[in-house]
Amino acid sequence: MSKNKNNQPIWSTRIKKDSTNLYKKIGGSLSIDKRLFNEDIEASIVHVEMLFKQKIISFKIKNKIVWGLNRIKNEIVKKKFVYDEKLEDIHMNIEKRLFDIIGEEAGYIHTARSRNDQVITDFKIWLRKANNEIIKNLDMTINNIIKKANKNVETIMPGFTHLKNAQAVSFAHYLLAYVEMFTRDKKRFNSNLDSLNENPLGVAALTGTSFKIDRFYTTKKLKFKNPTKNSIDTVSDRDFVIDFLYSCSACAIHISRIAEEFIIWNSDAFKLISLNDKIVTGSSIMPQKKNPDPLEYLRGKTGIIFGNLFSMLTILKGLPAYLQTAKIVNFAEKNKKKLSELSIEEINRIEKKLTNDVLKVFDLKNSIRSKSSYGGTSFENIKKMIISYKKNKK
């Protein structure tokens, strides 16, 4: 088992053998988060490069890790990587493989980084990419609609309101209504970028870290715009997920609507438009019969998207960030001490990740003072942040 420089094991299967089966069934996410492999490796490489730049790890160790991670990436891309379902998720799979390849020094990828900021960083990078692809697709769609509108300014069609009679309208006018809709959709996805461009890496488990990391360096290298500003908010924030799912839901309503209108207008009863063969499907039994199946599926997908939004809303509503509050309180009570009187040994029993570097942290205030990484809980950080909040009156 790998140890870190404090002679503690670095990683371990958190799953006890006895519980493996039950846990695997309900807890494993490997089949889903597999697709994050690229983001996970990219962020780990940038992280160790920063650790080296900040003189937290050596040149040799940094190189070893980067070489190992690139090799793993290659294995995955070439489909030679063997996934181990017992290792819960993609992050554990990559870590275990790195340990197999380069040995104990693999553990250094967890210096000044926790599973919390690692996973959120990977997921944000991935979601930012998806979000940007959607923006690009909306742009293309909008441009295509404008071109089509340009050719149909004087094409006349009946326009209808819910309970009113028909009025003649220009087909271009109808099409440009969708430019308005997809432009609003694009605005939502663009707006999502504000959050998606804030870098979570470096907030560690919750409070920031006492290592002298450089969050602006990783921000630049991972193409974020700013580091996130508050470590507590960062580890619990999932707004960027529901914002994305909501943006998809609103857009899906518009797509579903144009799909439905095109299905009806393409039907033999209405014959207002004639769909291109590329989006209808015929059959050799009835070659003359052309069903707009892909449009039907577009309509159907909307329900799935709504469902995902509501799953996530329900999950967020139920998250108990507080549950374990009990533990430290209980620990203090049992020891008849106020929290602020806990000895470093006692704190160590609670917070096993404290490193030798913080042996000088002899009380809680010093512990907090030490969390001076950007966004961390150090008193100085907070004072600066309050001044900045007041100035921005944001």
What is the set of active-site residues?
162, 283
Q: How far is the CB of 203 from its own copies (least distance, A)?
A: 10
153 token code pair: 């300014």
Q: How far is the CB of 73 from its own copies (least distance, A)?
A: 25
Residues from 343 through 362 that contact its own copies (CB under 8 A): 347, 350-353
Q: CA torsion 108→110→113→114, rounded to 10°?
A: -170
118: contact with its own copies by CB under 8 A: no
Q: How far is the CB of 151 from its own copies (least distance, A)?
A: 6
Nearer to its own copies, 70 or 267 (CB): 267
Stretch that binds its own copies, among 35-43, 76-84, 89-97, 139-147 (CB under 8 A): 139-147
Q: How far is the CB of 67 from its own copies (least distance, A)?
A: 25
Residues from 17 through 76 that contact its own copies (CB under 8 A): 17-19, 22-23, 26-27
Q: At a CB cut-off of 8 Å and minimum separation 6, what does 117 contact?
A: 200, 201, 202, 203, 204, 205, 234, 235
Query: What DSSP string runs through 345-391?
Result: HHHHHH-TT--GGGTT--SHHHHHHH--STTS--HHHHHHHHHHHHH
Q: How far is the CB of 122 from its own copies (least distance, A)?
A: 17
Stretch that binds its own copies, among 33-41, 48-56, 126-134, 161-169 (CB under 8 A): 161-169
Q: How far is the CB of 49 from its own copies (least distance, A)?
A: 25
Residues from 178 through 207 that contact its own copies (CB under 8 A): 178-181, 183-184, 186-187, 191, 194-195, 205-207
283: contact with its own copies by CB under 8 A: yes
86: contact with its own copies by CB under 8 A: no
Q: Are 202 and 47 in contact (CB under 8 A)?
A: no
φ, ψ for residue 176 (rounded to 5)? -70, -20
Q: Are 268 and 285 in contact (CB under 8 A)?
A: no
Nearer to its own copies, 60 or 365 (CB): 365
Kind and range of the H or E run holding 200: none
391: contact with its own copies by CB under 8 A: no
Q: Which of residues 169, 193, 216, 357 is near its own copies by CB under 8 A? A: 169
Q: What is the DSSP secondary structure assignment for residue 305, as one 8-state letter?
A: H
- The binding track of 286-325 with respect to its own copies, each residue x by CB under 8 A or -, is x--x-x-xx-xxxxxxxxx-xxxxxxxxxxxxxxxxxxxx
SS3 of 199, please?
Answer: strand
Nearer to its own copies, 26 or 82 (CB): 26
Kind and range of the H or E run holding 158: strand 156-159
Beta-bridge partner residues of 227:
199
Nearer to its own copies, 222 or 368 (CB): 368
382: contact with its own copies by CB under 8 A: yes
Size of the site for its own copies (CB under 8 A): 176
Q: At a CB cut-off of 8 Å and minimum separation 6, what does 260 contact?
A: 295, 299
Q: At a CB cut-off of 8 Å and minimum separation 6, what does 336 contact?
A: none
Nearer to its own copies, 38 or 230 (CB): 230
Given the DSSP bridges, would you call strands 167-170 and 156-159 parallel, antiparallel or unpaired? antiparallel
Q: What is the DSSP secondary structure assignment for residue 240, as one 8-state letter?
A: H
